[in-house]
């Protein structure tokens, strides 16, 4: 009996980072239809940083959350609709309540890997509303497996039905993934998932290692559409899992068609590991910073790679874009002194 893997597809959410959250209505509609047709079980939509995150801090979204959720829901019949959300960016009253009304099925409540205790009320709200709730631990490479399990257990006690750990910086090597997933699978009684990023070219192999260690949920984005070096490439995952004897329920040819469609509609140039991506992966810094780092580096006349290593040194957390300006400012000032 083939082992089943639940694929969750954040193309229309994490991918939004790649286009500064400017995905159009047409793109949402076209991709939702293609994903459903291919049998993708879960499609995740929204601003790159999740529900309510459209902001000057992390970038304003072309479409409102309401628009995104309405058009996605309308174009997904069997496929489950999921959203990512980070407490502190969105509230239950203004954002989650409306998402429930708009027909979201799965609420993936995320926190930095040491801050799981901010997710209690949001997970509870999703559960009380009769929806599925996952706990998501971001930048999970920044803590030990033991601490990761502690945080995951908190989310489990809040009612999360699955825990997904993210390799937000694309920093993991396969052995590290194996160790963490094993620790989580052993210590939790709920499903465990993995969300890879491809900075160091290892997203697929990391995902395979995760599955072999007991993960049952894997995130993958079409053509790896995502910030910086991109996410784990969805159609590649489907192909690889099929060859390894795992069942994803996704039709290979149709997901390849979806890749072609994505290329035409919103992702003409597939992500790759640029020098900045490699550096951010090595520095262990959130890949989503890339565009802003590049822009700010140019503005202040400093090397973006220096910004990344400095952010890594300061252990910058996802969502701290304002720090980029400060670091650039400082590096520029230091450079001025060096020149004198």
Partner 1 sequence: MMLYQSNQSMDRYLELRQDCLNACAYQPDATIKLALARIAVTGGTGFLGTWIAEMIATLNDEYDLKISLDLYARNTADWEKKYPHLSNRDDIKLYSQDVRSPFHFQSDTNFVIHAAGIPNNRVHASDPLRVVQTTVEGINNTLDAANQLDNLIWFINVSSGLVGGVPNRLGSLSEEDSFPIPSGQLHLAYVDAKRSAESIAAIYRSQTRMPISTIRPFTFIGPYQSLDRPWAVNSFMGDALIGRDIRIHGDGSARRSYLYGSDAAWWTLSALVNGVNGAIYNVGSPEAIGHMELAQMICKKISPKSGIATNTAPTKQGKKDELYPDVTHTQKGLGVTLTCGLEQAIDKTWRWFSSPMHQKN
Partner 2 sequence: MSTFNKLKIAIIGSGNIGTDLLMKSLRSDFITCTLFAGRNFNSAGMKKAISLGVPISDRGIEAILNDPQICDLVFDCTSAQAHIDHWTALDNLGKIVIDMTPAKLGALCVPAINAVESIAEGARNLNMITCGGQVSIPIAHAISQVHHDIEYIEVASSIASRSAGPATRYNLDEYVETTQDALKKFSGARRAKAILILNPAVPPIDMQTTIYAKISNPDLPAIVASVVAMVKKINQYVPGYQILVPPTIEENKVVTTIKVLGAGDYLPQYAGNLDIINCAAISMAELIAQSNKS
Q: How far is the CB of 40 from partner 2 (least distance, A)?
A: 31
| Binding status of residue 158 toward partner 1 by CB under 8 A | yes
Touching partner 2, residues 97-136 (CB under 8 A): 112, 114-115, 117-118, 120-121
| Binding status of residue 189 toward partner 1 by CB under 8 A | yes
Q: Which of 48, 159, 220, 224 binds partner 1 (CB under 8 A)?
A: 159
| Binding status of residue 91 toward partner 2 by CB under 8 A | yes
| Binding status of residue 115 toward partner 1 by CB under 8 A | no
Strand, coil or helix: what is 152?
helix
Touching partner 1, residues 216-275 (CB under 8 A): 216
| Residue 112 among the catalytic residues | no
| Binding status of residue 314 toward partner 2 by CB under 8 A | yes
Which of partner 1, partner 2, none interacts with 338 (beta carbon under 5 to 8 A by kind)? none
As a whole number of Å, the end-to-end CA separation of the chain is 70
| Binding status of residue 146 toward partner 2 by CB under 8 A | no
Beta carbons within 10 angstroms of residue 20's beta carbon: 16
| Binding status of residue 117 toward partner 1 by CB under 8 A | yes
d(CA 194, CA 337): 45
Nearer to partner 1, 146 or 336 (CB): 146
Which of partner 2, partner 1, none interacts with 320 (beta carbon under 5 to 8 A by kind)? partner 2
Please tell me the number of Cα atoms within 13 Å of 51 on its side-chain side.
29
* Sequence-separated (6 or more) residues with CB below 8 Å from residue 2: 245, 246, 247
Please tell me the number of Cα atoms within 13 Å of 291 on its side-chain side.
14
β-partners of residue 191 are 162
Q: How far is the CB of 130 from partner 1 (least distance, A)?
A: 3
| Binding status of residue 3 toward partner 2 by CB under 8 A | no
**Residue 292 structure tokens:** 């802003």
Which of partner 2, partner 1, none interacts with 210 (beta carbon under 5 to 8 A by kind)? none
Strand, coil or helix: what is 49?
coil
Nearer to partner 2, 46 or 224 (CB): 46
* Sequence-separated (6 or more) residues with CB below 8 Å from residue 264: none
CB 66 within 8 A of CB 281: no
d(CA 204, CA 237): 6
Nearer to partner 2, 91 or 274 (CB): 91
| Binding status of residue 320 toward partner 2 by CB under 8 A | yes
Beta carbons within 10 angstroms of residue 263's beta carbon: 15
Q: How far is the CB of 288 from partner 2 (least distance, A)?
A: 14
d(CA 70, CA 78): 15
Catalytic center residues: 17
């Amino acid at each position: 009996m083939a082992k089943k893997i639940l694929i969750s597809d954040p193309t229309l959410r994490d991918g939004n980072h790649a286009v500064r959250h400017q995905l159009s209505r047409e793109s949402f509609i076209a991709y939702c239809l293609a994903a459903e047709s291919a049998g993708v079980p879960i499609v995740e939509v929204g601003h790159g940083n999740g529900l309510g995150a459209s902001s000057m801090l992390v970038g304003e979204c072309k479409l409102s959350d309401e628009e995104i959720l309405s058009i996605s829901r309308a174009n997904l019949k069997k496929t489950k609709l999921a959203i990512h959300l980070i407490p502190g960016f969105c509230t239950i009253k203004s954002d989650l309540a409306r998402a429930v009304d708009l027909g979201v099925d799965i609420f993936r409540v995320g926190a930095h890997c040491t801050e799981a205790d901010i997710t209690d009320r949001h997970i509870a709200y999703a559960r009380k509303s009769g929806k599925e709730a996952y706990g998501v631990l971001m930048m999970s490479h920044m803590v030990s497996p033991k601490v990761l399990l502690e945080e995951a257990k908190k989310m489990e006690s809040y009612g999360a039905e699955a825990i997904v750990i993210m390799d937000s910086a694309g920093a993991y090597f396969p052995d590290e993934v194996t160790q963490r997933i094993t620790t989580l699978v052993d210590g939790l009684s709920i499903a465990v998932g993995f969300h890879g990023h491809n900075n160091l070219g290892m997203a697929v192999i990391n995902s395979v290692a995760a599955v072999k260690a007991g993960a049952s949920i894997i995130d993958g984005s079409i053509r790896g559409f995502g910030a910086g070096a991109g996410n784990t490439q969805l159609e590649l995952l489907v192909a690889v899992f099929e060859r390894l004897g795992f069942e994803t329920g996704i039709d290979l040819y149709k997901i390849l068609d979806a890749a072609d469609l994505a290329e035409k509609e919103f992702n003409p140039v597939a992500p790759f590991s640029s020098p900045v991506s490699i550096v951010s992966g090595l520095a262990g810094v959130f890949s989503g910073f890339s565009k802003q780092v590049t822009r700010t580096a140019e503005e202040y006349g400093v090397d973006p790679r220096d910004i990344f290593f400095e952010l890594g040194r300061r252990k910058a957390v996802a969502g701290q874009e304002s720090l980029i300006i400060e670091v650039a400012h400082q590096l520029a000032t230091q450079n001025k002194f060096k020149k004198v």
